[in-house]
Amino acid sequence: MVFADECGASTSPPTRRTWGRRGRTPLVATRRGRRERANAVGWLCVHPATGTVKLFHTVQRSAITAAMLPTLLDRLHRALRSTVVLIWDNHSSHSGKRMTAQITARDRVRVVFLPPGTRPS
């Protein structure tokens, strides 16, 4: 069984409104220049018979797109050397027509979606 999720982080804070004294606009110090960003995919793999746990991850600066996910799944399959039962959230990039077609073309990957409204923390 493989639990997977993606996330992204930025070095610059998001722009927000804040409270300040009347007539004085609050200033928030931020670093100027190029914003750095990191995107990651984590794969928590649990062997159903032995309970052995492995963690695989991919980190990159560019966005992780739906077009990249099948390639990442192929790499995971080669590393595990067994059928991958992937437990995924219901993000639109996971359940779209293109992704569904690419997953069904892989006979060693099975996908189980979490029930709608389920948000693991």
The answer to whether position 118 is within a domain reads no
Give the per-residue pLDDT at 121: 57
Predicted pLDDT at 42: 93
Report strand pairing: 109-113 vs 84-88. parallel
Contact yes or no for 76/84 (Cβ under 8 A): yes
53 in a structural domain: yes
* Host domain of residue 50: 2-113
Side chain identity, residue 72: L
Q: How far apart are CA 47 and CA 67, in angstroms?
A: 27
Name 105's Cβ contacts closer than 8 Å, sequence gap at least 6.
none
Q: What is the pLDDT of residue 38?
A: 93
- For residue 115, what pLDDT is reported? 82
Main-chain dihedrals φ then ψ at residue 3, nearest 5 degrees: -100, 130
Determine the pLDDT at residue 119: 63
pLDDT the model gives residue 104: 86
Residue 65, in any domain of the structure:
yes
88: domain CATH number?
3.30.420
Does residue 28 lie in a domain region?
yes
Residue found by looking up tokens 């746990």 in the block: 53
pLDDT tens for the chain, 121 residues long, are 999 989 999 887 776 677 788 888 887 777 676 778 899 999 999 998 999 999 999 999 988 888 888 888 889 999 998 889 999 888 877 888 888 888 888 888 898 888 877 665 5
The pLDDT value given to residue 44: 95
* Structural domain includes residue 85: yes
CA 50 – CA 56 distance, rounded (Å): 18
Tell me whether residue 121 is in a domain: no
**Structural domain count, the chain:** 1
